[in-house]
Structure 1
Amino acid sequence: MHFLREDLVGSVFIAFGVTLFVGFFYAAVVSKLLPPYENSLFAAIQNDWYYCLLVPLTLPVIIVAVYLHWLSMKMFKHA
């Protein structure tokens, strides 16, 4: 019965990841395509350009950081 708890934890992580993905996708893409909102919260999400570009632009930074980490470990190993 211990495996049921692990399945539940895994399902919660997957549901959380899917929820975050849908939220960020809405903020970055879908909200820009919809007509202007009357609600101030949705209007703020629609007019925001910082956070909708932050997530995609994080990917190149992560790639450079991983490469530099790999390079520094190679240099340390062969020094």
Structure 2
Amino acid sequence: MALAANRAMGFALVAVGITLLAGFLYAAVLSKALPPPDNWFLLAIRNDRYYCLLVPLTVPVIIVAVYLHWMSMKMFKHA
């Protein structure tokens, strides 16, 4: 029973991740390439600049976090 529940939870998490990735890609890339929609919500997403700048500004922070994680693991391993 626990194996089936863990597998279902894993599939649910993967499905949520794929859905969020598709939504982000639409908001950041695809909405700018498509013609203007008639829906006010999709038009607001198209005119938004936040998500277009989110990824480029997050990349340096991720690089620093990965470096600090690597350095802390080296210090832990050799201490």
Residue 3 (structure 2) aligns with: 3
Secondary structure at 1:36's aligned position in 2? coil
Residue 31 (structure 1) aligns with: 31
Asked whether the 8 Å contact 1:31–1:46 carries over to 2, the reply is yes
Task: Report the alpha carbon displacement of residue 52 of structure 1 after superposing the two structures with TM.
Answer: 2.4
Name the amino acid aligned to 1:40.
W
With over 3 angstroms needed to count, the CA separation of the structure-2 counterparts of 1:56 and 1:22, relative to structure 1, is farther
> Which contiguous aligned blocks of 4+ residues in structure 1 show a shift greater than 4 angstroms?
74-78
- How many equivalent residue pairs? 78
User: How many percent identity over aligned positions?
Assistant: 61
TM-score, normalized by length of structure 1?
0.79
Residue 18 (structure 2) aligns with: 18
Residue 63 (structure 2) aligns with: 63
> Quick one: distance in 2 between partners of 1:55 and 1:7?
31
Task: Report the alpha carbon displacement of residue 68 of structure 1 after superposing the two structures with TM.
Answer: 3.5
Unaligned runs of 5+ in 1: none
Unaligned runs of 5+ in 2: none
TM-score, normalized by length of structure 2?
0.79
